[in-house]
Structure formats: structure tokens, C-alpha cells
Amino acid sequence: MKNDNRKITTRKPGSGRKVGSGTFREETSVIRVPNSQKPVIIDFLESYAKKQRQAEQKDNLDAVDEFSEPVLGLPSLSLPLYQSKVPAGLPAPADNDVEEQIDMYEYLIRDGNDTFFITIQGESMIEAGLMPGDKAIVVKGKQASLGDIVLAMIDGEFTVKTLSKQPNGLPKLLPENSSGKYAPILITKQMEFEITGVVTGSFRRFK
């Protein structure tokens, strides 16, 4: 009788990759494929996963619209800033209440070469004061810090959110709307992610 020296291994409970930790966050199974087709299948699955992520995130993104640049070389235009606080409905303050003159261009735009405007869509950032139709001022190349409002690109789609961080160190984008309609966006290593610029202000017209 021959001795069978083959080693029998057993799997410890809970060992191996956890269920839901892969790209598709579900159980996996082993299949055999030709080696020559592995790259094709991997590319297909990555593209499919990307489309799924885009569909899931579409409601949270509030995609940005209408990129535009400031007109450079404009003459200075200083307007009066009144020192008195004026409640709505009362008469206009007197001329002698003028505290200083403000050039709106200099006040809103620090570097015209690195600044552009975007139009806000959706209501995910209303509690940060960004309403649908507002023009947000974005400075590209500015170093973003946690808590900054940023213009980010996720898988080819632009969105404006507050920058935060996950426990694993990866970025997290937070909406500023307590209605519960918008969920935080958790950035994963599989996503194409880039911070395009930091939002430094906004403005709107009523008429």
C-alpha cells in the first residue's frame, strides 16, 4: 500500500477576500478562459463597472454646466460699500455712510489667468449657498484642503462638492443638503478622479 504524502489543506473560516470587497461588491466564482482573452475580458468588466458607477452616481453628481472664463483687461470699476447694515424694506442709506469703494473684479477674482466660472445645477450644495443657476468662481491648480468646496471630475463627469476623507485615506465628496436626497460620494481606486479646482466664491443675478 502506497503512502499518500499529499498535504490536505483546509480553509480557515473568514479567510480569503471578503464578500463584497471586489469591484462589483458581490460573490465571485472561478471560470476558465483562454489566456489570450484575459485582457479583453478584464477591459470589458472594467468598462461595465465604470458604467454602473456612473449610473449609480448620476443623481448625486449635479453635473456642472457652462464653463466660462473672465474677461481680462477690464478697466477698474469701484462701487460704494455702505458701512450701515440695511434691513430689507428701508430707504437707501445716505451718501455719507459710504465706508469704502470696492472693485468687484478684484474682490472676486485674485488671478484671472487661473480663474473660470461654472454654472451650478441641482440642489446638492444649497446649504453652502450654491443655488441652481449660480455662477461659481473656480481657481484651477489651487491646492485643495479638507473642507474646501471643489470642482471634481469623476469618471468624466464634473461635480461640485465639499472635500472630505474616508477612513482608508481616499477622498470623499460631501453634499451640502440635509434633505437626505444626496449621498456622499466615496472615491475608489477604480474611479477616474481628479480635483480640477477650488471654488472660492459665487454670484447671481435676480434680474
Report, as residue numbers or ranges, the catalytic residues: 124, 161
Picking from 170, 190, 199, the residue whose alpha carbon sits closest to that of residue 56 is: 190
Measured from the Cβ of residue 23, the count of other Cβ atoms closer than 10 Å reads: 16
Nearest to 162 by CA among 147, 178, 143: 147
On whether the CB atoms of residues 135 and 108 are closer than 8 A, the answer is no
Which amino acid, 122?
G
Among left, alpha and beta (phi > 0; psi -120 to 50; other), residue 89 is left
Report the 10 Å Cβ neighbour count for 22: 13
